[in-house]
Amino acid sequence: MNSLTVKQFLSVTFHIFCYLILFSLFNPLLAADSKGQSLSDITVNLSRQEGLVTEILEDVEAQTDFRFIYDRKTKNISQKLHIGENRLTLLELLRIVSEKTGLRYKRINRYISIGAGDLYGTNHSFFHVVKGTVTDENGQPLPGASVVEKGTSKGTSTDFDGNFTIDVAGPESILLVSYMGYVQAEIGVRGRTSVTVTMQPDNELLDEVVVVGYGRQQRREVSSAISSFKPTQENARPVLGPDQIMQGRMPGVLVGSGGGTPGSNMRVSIRGIGSLSGQNEPLYVIDGIPLIKHNAAMYDLGEGMNPLAELNPNDIESVEVLKDAASAAIYGSRATNGVVIITTKSGKEGQSRLDVNLRSGVQYLPNLDKLGMAGSDLYLDVLNEAVNNYNQQNGYAPGDSNFVRYYENPYPGLPDTDWLDLVTRQAYVTDANISFSSGSEKTRLYLSGGYLNQEGVIKTNKFRKYTAKVNVSHNPLKWLEIGANTTASFTRNNRIPNGDFGSAIMLRSVGQRPFDRPYKPNGDYYRGGTEELKYHNNLQILNEQDTQLDNYRYLGNFYADFTFSPDLHLKSSAGADIIHTEDFLYYTENHPYGAGQGRILDRRRTIKNMLVENTLYFDKTLGNLKINALAGHSFQKVTTSTSYIDGRGFPSPSFDVISVASEIADASTGYGESALESYYSRLNLAWADKYLLSMSIRADGSSKFSPEKRYGAFPSVSAGWNISEEPFWKSEASDLKLRASFGATGNQDGIGSYAFQALMSGGANYSNNSGIAITTFGNPDLTWETAEQFNIGSDLSLFNGKLNLTADYFVKNTKNLLYSRPIHATSGFSSITSNIGSMQNKGVEFAVHLNQDLGPVQWTSDFNISFIKNKLTSLLGDEALLIGGNRTLQVGEEVGSFYLYKMLGIFQSDEEVPEPQYQEGVRAGDVHYEDLNGDGLINVDDRQIVGTSNPAYFGGWSNMFRYKGFDLSVFFTYSYGSEIYATWRKTTDRIGLGNQGFRKEVALERWTGPGSSNKVPRAIHGYGHNLENSSRFLEDGSFIRLRTLTLGYNLPASLLDKIGVSRLRMYLQGDNLYLWTRYSGIDPEVSKDYDARFLADDNMNLPQPRTISFGINATF
């Protein structure tokens, strides 16, 4: 299962073959599309060699998409002429007509206008042919560069030697030449038939344009910490949502990969842990709309679902991450964990293009050999050794009431069962996207549609996504621009149990005894939790349930921009993010959770996120002083309505609707709302491009807090110095900017909409009378979390932008941490939401960008690394809080610290065992834990902090190599210094305690006598001493992952021109190709919980699959 079989290879080949067949069948249609096609490539077959001009050209219209427009005042149109041949190109035919009649022709897309020479100019030529060469700044040819006639869709691309040929409308046409990593060139033809285009690098860091809160700025003018990434066809990975795009691309941004189920939850952390509440997710702003954080699923099947997976990553133009307070404070109370601004694609003036992207691939689980389980013979030997050790230690003999009998194989002679193989598969992925963009002086348009069908590597698991997008802007008047950015999507996810769920597929598969089997001889299921089968029968789980999670989503923002003067304009917008969820779960009567009668759980939810904003902008340049200012008002309201029904008792699995249920076991509805009103402003000043100053403030009022605590203000200030603009800076090939900032941001995540109030709920009925009861203990003193952050940084560009370096140092202090604090049960409640303490994050970030030519090979490299340290600086009473089974919150320690017994080794003799432990049954061969207080006992007083889930450093390294028509992308991600708690090993490594399956490696390395092992304890029945929460199960989670390897090839322009295609790229891609790690599990990145307090706890969640894909990128 770790490599493709012949069957899977043939299947992938078949998908590729289908693509090529479809492309071949599509070619005639493309050839017939004459809009961007050269006239010399169009062949016509005339039905006559002699006739009137109009008659001959009617033959052309019948065979092509061209239409002729005649000036009837021109007498020569009725002239009769002799062509001389029947088969010739359209260009040859038109030249003959021109020579014999004196007529002139003008081509406008699919129309050809015919008139007299004095009307069109005797020197005018509609088929003006331009040849040229595109090179870099050193004169090296650039293959695959795009060459488009401005204002049309006519285009081509350069060949291996950088050469191109294009037919343009006339001698005054303009060519737009673009190539990744270079500034787009605009070349006027000016009557020439040959041009040479020298491209200039676009990799100078200080000249990049970035998106900021409520606007855009040149990187040169930015004095805060902002990271950017622009996805392209060459650097794209097979991802479901925009959060995955950021993984490994930006310093300070740590993206947890989630599990291997399609659409599963992700974790994005910007500059470390920012809060004790929730998952510490940043605020996402898509086309101006701040999104609401929520779980895309309603039923907990062991993992959350990612709402960002409902969007189409192919629509993304750029991703900007606002990391420091100065850049993020404009979003105020929601910006403590950083802000991610996602800008989607739009039409460009003077450009018209159609893009088609197709991808097909196969996925499978790698590294399953690390889970080698003991076969029946070894299993029985070790299990009976455990029983024997127990009986001997306690002096039990056959016939004693406490004697434990030995185990036998109930199916002798039959092969063992590979339970993982029964439920896993090679999963196929199909991804298709089409988009059209166009733009004129007044109107810009972008349309797209997407379809994704992704199977999961566990049988019955499947994810489908349909998306559509329309972005349009229009200037009906000189002083008015109106526009809309809209997205609609539908996803259907057939989920499987995972993580901590009772029927989690992975863990329950490896935990079965090796000789157990799924079916009885009569075809019935063996049932788990019985003598027949240890755990739930996974085939029964998958076959006897129907899970269907549907999400319908509309995300739209409409705006009008009023220009009052060249310096002043007002933008008014209204947006909505509306999500309707239907989470359906059906257990048949044969399912363990079906209660023998069948059960349907049906939950539904509608979230409405409505936003109205008005922002006034002022831009003015007064000599050397450049002023940019804004002020605005925002109102956002979020409403959530839910319904839930639990129906039981169905006549057969064919009846899967609630109306057939014989019993409604439970039903409920819910409704909640919250609002946020805000006022914000910002002032940017730049003097002679040297000295920069930016100030912003936002005041937020949230309905989640009491009226006395409702409003908070979040100011910031930043300054920058472009040293390279000073007269003393002599190097023209380098730039240097220094930055410093300080500001405050807030947080209200992780608390309820009415957290400051005591709440009452119905349903507390008594003696058939309705009743209500207090269900939530309110806290009127609750207030904002506030983070104050200081940042200093520098941006250095060397060698005319070939090498760029960015460095940042930050200190972030967060106070009034929101937390559900435990309280005495005598209050009637177990916890209350409170502000309990403070913490600090500080760190250093580095990023390096290199663009270098290695002879004919162009090399682009991006490397980033981040060192971030977190610690709690205060808690209520500064007393440690024990949370979960193995974590703690302690002043001076990191959030995410593991609080465990420390394993020192294995007792090698009974004499080493302290007497109190010996009395409890500990013997030679058992785990030796550190006794902190020296009392001879091992209890809660001996737990200590032995590690953290936070890495010491992390980052990514991407490399792009281009040679002629080829491109090779190699992308690594890495993390060092974090620990991971392997909870799954408490199932697979518990040799003897219980009769579940265990790993072969553990069985062979177990302690069997003095000196035999100091890591793996003895096999012993009935004692849990060796399975305490301890450092025995804590492992190094460091890794380096070959995240993506892509090889692409751009077909030569000489071939594409004949079929009317501007660009055609084919590529082969592998994702998650290799993993270097010392972790004994399959994947050190997965976690059963993405709460910052409980990260890096692996309960054998489904690991990330390996993906092999073939794809096509076509531009017309």
The dihedral over CA atoms of 83, 87, 88, 93, expressed in degrees to the nearest 10, equals 30
The residue assigned the tokens 């092999």 is: 1108
Between CA 136 and CA 856 the distance in angstroms is 11
3-state secondary structure at position 1024: coil
DSSP per residue over 312-355, as a string?
Answer: -GGGEEEEEEE-SHHHHGGGGGG-TT-EEEEEE----TTBEEEE
Residue 829 near residue 759, CB atoms below 8 Å: no
Query: How high is the pLDDT of residue 12?
Result: 47
Residue 724 near residue 736, CB atoms below 8 Å: yes
For residue 251 the two structure tokens come to: 């310093």
Asked whether the CA dihedral 71, 75, 78, 80 is positive or negative, the reply is: negative
CA angle 80, 81, 84 (to 5 degrees): 150
Between CA 253 and CA 948 the distance in angstroms is 18
596-616 burial, b at 16+ Cβ within 10 Å, e below that, comes to eebbbbbbbbbbbbbbebebb
Cα–chain center distance at 468: 19
Considering the four listed CATH numbers 3.90.1150.10, 3.55.50.30, 3.30.70.270, 3.40.190.80, the one that applies to the domain covering 39-120 is: 3.55.50.30
3-state secondary structure at position 558: strand
For residue 492 the two structure tokens come to: 């259907």
447 beta partners: 436, 470
The residue assigned the tokens 């090179």 is: 135
Query: How high is the pLDDT of residue 351?
Result: 77
Contacts of 74 (CB under 8 A, 6+ apart): 103, 114, 115, 116, 119
3-state secondary structure at position 494: strand
Residue 793 near residue 323, CB atoms below 8 Å: no
Strand ranges (E), 478-598: 480-494, 545-565, 568-587
pLDDT mean for each 10 residues of the chain (1116 residues): 46 46 38 49 79 81 76 65 80 79 67 60 54 81 81 75 81 82 82 84 63 89 93 89 93 88 91 82 94 92 92 94 94 92 90 91 94 94 96 93 92 92 95 93 93 96 96 94 96 93 89 93 90 90 95 96 95 96 95 90 96 96 94 96 94 86 91 94 94 96 87 94 92 91 88 75 71 74 88 93 94 88 68 84 96 88 96 85 88 93 96 95 96 93 94 96 92 96 93 91 96 96 94 96 95 79 91 96 89 89 94 92
In 10 A of CB 414, how many CB atoms?
11
Contacts of 596 (CB under 8 A, 6+ apart): 589
Give Cα separations from 780 to 705, 758, 775, 1097 (angstroms).
7, 9, 16, 35
Between CA 386 and CA 842 the distance in angstroms is 50
Contacts of 429 (CB under 8 A, 6+ apart): 238, 359, 360, 361, 362, 363, 452, 453, 454, 455, 1107, 1109
Asked whether the CA dihedral 1004, 1010, 1014, 1017 is positive or negative, the reply is: positive
Contacts of 622 (CB under 8 A, 6+ apart): none
Domain boundaries, the chain: 39-120, 128-198
In 10 A of CB 696, how many CB atoms?
28
Q: Please name which of 497, 509, 582, 492 lies closest in space to residue 542, comparing C-alpha atoms.
A: 497
Question: What is the amino acid identity at position 1068?
Answer: L
Between CA 256 and CA 252 the distance in angstroms is 13
Between CA 1006 and CA 1085 the distance in angstroms is 28
Q: Please name which of 986, 1076, 1073 lies closest in space to residue 1024, comparing C-alpha atoms.
A: 986
CA angle 107, 83, 31 (to 5 degrees): 45
3-state secondary structure at position 229: strand
Strands 283-286 and 289-290: antiparallel
Considering the four listed CATH numbers 2.60.40.1120, 2.60.40.10, 3.20.20.70, 2.70.70.10, the one that applies to the domain covering 128-198 is: 2.60.40.1120
Tell which phi-psi region holds residue 455, choosing left (phi > 0), alpha (psi between -120 and 50) or beta: beta
3-state secondary structure at position 1048: strand
Between CA 850 and CA 942 the distance in angstroms is 51
942-977 burial, b at 16+ Cβ within 10 Å, e below that, comes to bbebbbbbbbebbbbbbebbbebbebbbbbbbbbee
